[in-house]
């Protein structure tokens, strides 16, 4: 019985010595695991940020195109005439007259 107990104790010492001997390697692996998990979370955060920015960019592009078409529509001659009609302004029906200055007159 004493021999079995000695063998178990000796086996335990060997295993304990191996664990202590390889402790720096286990700590290194643990550090790598922490960095790997952090990298995964960081990349998810960046991907969400990029997705949110792309969505905002598409909304702004749509708003730009809408406003541009509205400005183009309002800058038509007929639309301008409708807008200034309440002010009493009307379109010219006759062509403008060119006034020339003679060289001898001041």
pLDDT of residue 12: 63
pLDDT (0 to 100) of residue 15: 79
Q: What is the pLDDT of residue 5?
A: 61
Residue ranges of the chain with per-residue pLDDT less than 70: 1-14, 104-106
| pTM greater than 0.75 | no
What is the predicted pLDDT for the residue at 104?
A: 67
Per-residue pLDDT at 65: 97
Supply the pLDDT for residue 6: 60
Using left for φ > 0, alpha for ψ between -120 and 50, and beta otherwise, residue 100 falls in beta
Q: Is the dihedral of CA 42, 45, 49, 51 positive or negative?
A: positive
């Amino acid at each position: 019985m004493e021999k079995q107990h000695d063998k178990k104790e000796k086996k335990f010492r060997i295993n304990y010595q191996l664990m202590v001997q390889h402790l720096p390697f286990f700590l290194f692996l643990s550090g790598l695991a922490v960095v790997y998990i952090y990298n995964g979370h960081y990349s998810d955060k960046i991907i969400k940020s990029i997705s949110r920015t792309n969505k905002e960019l598409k909304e702004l592009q749509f708003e730009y195109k809408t406003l541009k078409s509205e400005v183009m529509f309002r800058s038509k001659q007929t639309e301008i005439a409708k807008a200034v009609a309440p002010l009493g302004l009307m379109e010219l029906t006759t062509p403008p007259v060119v006034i020339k200055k003679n060289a001898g007159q001041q």
